[in-house]
Structure 1
């Protein structure tokens, strides 16, 4: 028997405030690239974002750390080939010219040769680049707004997409909620870049979500300032017991669980605190210093009570670590929290699409006839019990267009971390570079399908692939160029 209580809301008219060819929901890395691709291909495009800025997790400094989710291994494979280009790479290059990304650095001969209990790390070619070291969040936020204006995209910030307008199995638009109230926007196509498959779920598309005990854990971060970086580095060199073996310059590798020959150099160090798996890096020379105090938490990111609890517990945990750093690490005596990173959510809903990418596909480097991009990211599994496994693979896999197409619902595409894949596969495919690639593909497909008067699921993939190539994207593995430090 259902013990829940309900009310019946009165019927009401909802004002239609706009009509567009394509609506993109979510202004993170996937949504930003989707909107730009859609507009460049001739579609009248609107971008909806719940926050007061664009960039999503790409503006999260913890995703902009040296070699982390945003950069490093993710833009090149172990054969020295560049695997992500297109609009996402264009954004990075333009940001570099504006000083919004730290410079590329060449790997030395003995860099990243490491095997340990927590994971397996493969060695890159000598002289290859580790990707842009650190992306500066506020620079990206400002530049993203410039791009939206440049591409003539209609933007709504502070706006939640809360429902869909649907006839039979076809989406015809969305319902939004903001300070202006409840409003409707009509469209020919909708691209769900919400990260949580919110639009797909609202439309009734089949989705999958793991249990709370299975979902990858969330983290919460504070950005720390007023740190004497030289003092920190000197202390760590003189007190190696405080160091963690790090392959990425202060991000991965925990001394308690990892054994190996990871290289620790003067400008690439991490602090081991007494808190579970919390890291702080003094930064890389010639790059901005982004120091984070982190808290870890679990829960269902689609449940508001769990999100509330995660914010509370995560902040408490991060503040405890900040206090420990001030007390134990010289250079942090006068450290303060200058900003919040907020919750870093790794996983929630995923659509069940026309193809479900598996862990075997990722690990085995599977190639697809309908490939729209490449992936070389590892399985990065952060379990709810706090344990962690990171496993890299020599092979590079392709991402099929079918994984962006939900079953049963038409005129809808999906990009970002909620594309169609299994739980373990998602631990690799959720990373920023993959979001950039899937976003560009979804935006291009939406616009092309309108031009060709066909449903996205019936779009000739050869036409989509050719258009992506013309935009500079890398579609197939055999097309990947040599990576060079530029």
Structure 2
């Protein structure tokens, strides 16, 4: 018997109202989009940023991730973090020890303060934010993106743009513009890093936890501040493998991870202890089931922590992220595909738009232990932001043109912020020069980045 075809309906043709016209439309206000929007707005461009939730920051804030997996080296990312520090919304950078050595990490932020700061800087830059609005599709004319269709409480509308920057994380706009892409590693096996969901806990005795962590060999990756006053933002612990295994052996309860990560931000304990393998986030049923499964896992992990980890005896679930943490989906194909060899070996690119010192952070697609380690800085060329086969579209964030191995570094927040920043500047300069974003003089993008003290090359990182 043949496979049955899905049922369809026919929608009548209709005219769509033009909501507004912009120089630059940024799709997505998560960890990447605000950096693109602010950067273009500060150059005097009319920018519209479209965000499906009611606040900015995405996985950084709503997702409760809070911590870049690496140092913030300059430019707008460091500016915002330093601003957060002035209002006790972030702590000091710290050196985390891992199995393979040390890695410098920017401290977590307070996600609520970060929502405020990102919004404030967007407004100050003249960015028009559209909250609670979904982008349905790009509109293409003569091979170039001329704007996007949006859906909101006012219905279906069109926003015109000279350039669109896809900061959707999943490359949604690029994919709908028929840009080629690869899912995960591009083979037929389970190839994408798993999804998860952060949660926070209250009533944790953080000092007791830190004192225990110093004496155990079950937390091989760690940052434990010497001063008690630094515990509010400075405690980071990854491991607990033996503890988790023993708990499962004793109780028969199956946990889904070999390890968990704990960290503090604003005195609150953040827990990364869930994992869903092989979920297709583009399938609404699979996506929804992954959320349900994360809730079930959170209950089990919480009970394990209470029973087996000192300091958690009286702890309670405080908050669960209202979004699934998705690590990997589409890799858009651009003018250059960044490879694992490039990011592990520190290949030099003349058109680099940032140096990045993010850690290698691989959550194995088949469920093995997490590979987290520091490495030498690497460079991301502008060509990775320029997709094939369509004009006036840039991509930024974890969907840039990179393979599965390179993605283990380029998906991290410092790189997402930096590529967003570069895309916003590139879009603005292209408008100023009267050229396409594919033809924009990279030297002028680089000079603009130097002006805000963003390191461009690995050798610039001290």
TM range (shorter): 0.7 to 0.9
CA deviation digits over 1:118-155, x for unaligned, max 9?
xxx2346xxxxx44422110010111111121111101
Map 1:6-45 onto structure 2 (within 5 A): 6-45=8-47
The 1-side partners of 2:210 and 2:407 are apart by 36
Q: Say if 1:327 and 1:430 are closer, same or farther in 2 by CA, change over 3 A.
A: same
Match among 280, 287, 298 for residue 307 of structure 1: 287
- Structure 1 window deviating more from structure 2 (388-397 vs 471-480): it is 388-397
Deviation at 1:168, TM superposition (A): 2.5
Q: Which runs of 5+ in 2 are unaligned?
A: 224-234, 249-254
Query: Quick check: 1:290 aligned with 2:269?
Result: yes
The answer to whether the 8 Å contact 1:232/1:282 transfers is no
The answer to whether the 8 Å contact 1:246/1:253 transfers is yes
Deviation at 1:307, TM superposition (A): 1.1
Match among 128, 134, 155 for residue 129 of structure 2: 155
Deviation at 1:477, TM superposition (A): 2.8
Structure 2 match to 1:247: 222
Structure 2 match to 1:464: 445
Q: Say if 1:458 and 1:233 are closer, same or farther in 2 by CA, change over 3 A.
A: closer
Query: Quick check: 1:87 aligned with 2:84?
Result: no
Deviation at 1:332, TM superposition (A): 3.1
Q: Say if 1:354 and 1:14 are closer, same or farther in 2 by CA, change over 3 A.
A: same
Q: Which runs of 5+ in 1 are unaligned?
A: 76-83, 116-120, 125-129, 258-269
Match among 164, 173, 177 for residue 203 of structure 1: 177
Map 1:413-424 onto structure 2 (within 5 A): 413-424=394-405
Query: Quick check: 1:374 aligned with 2:355?
Result: yes
The answer to whether the 8 Å contact 2:139/2:149 transfers is yes
Q: Say if 1:104 and 1:3 are closer, same or farther in 2 by CA, change over 3 A.
A: closer
CA deviation digits over 1:184-237, x for unaligned, max 9?
100100000000001101111111113571110111122111223345456667
Map 1:305-384 onto structure 2 (within 5 A): 305-329=285-309, 331-341=311-321, 342-384=323-365
CA RMSD of superposed structures (Å) = 2.5
Structure 2 match to 1:138: 112
The 2-side partners of 1:320 and 1:196 are apart by 30
Q: Say if 1:96 and 1:236 are closer, same or farther in 2 by CA, change over 3 A.
A: closer
Q: Say if 1:273 and 1:50 are closer, same or farther in 2 by CA, change over 3 A.
A: farther
Deviation at 1:333, TM superposition (A): 4.0
Match among 58, 71, 92 for residue 74 of structure 1: 71
The answer to whether the 8 Å contact 1:273/1:321 transfers is no
Match among 188, 213, 221 for residue 162 of structure 2: 188
SS of 1:171's partner is strand
TM-score of the superposition, structure 2-length normalised?
Answer: 0.88
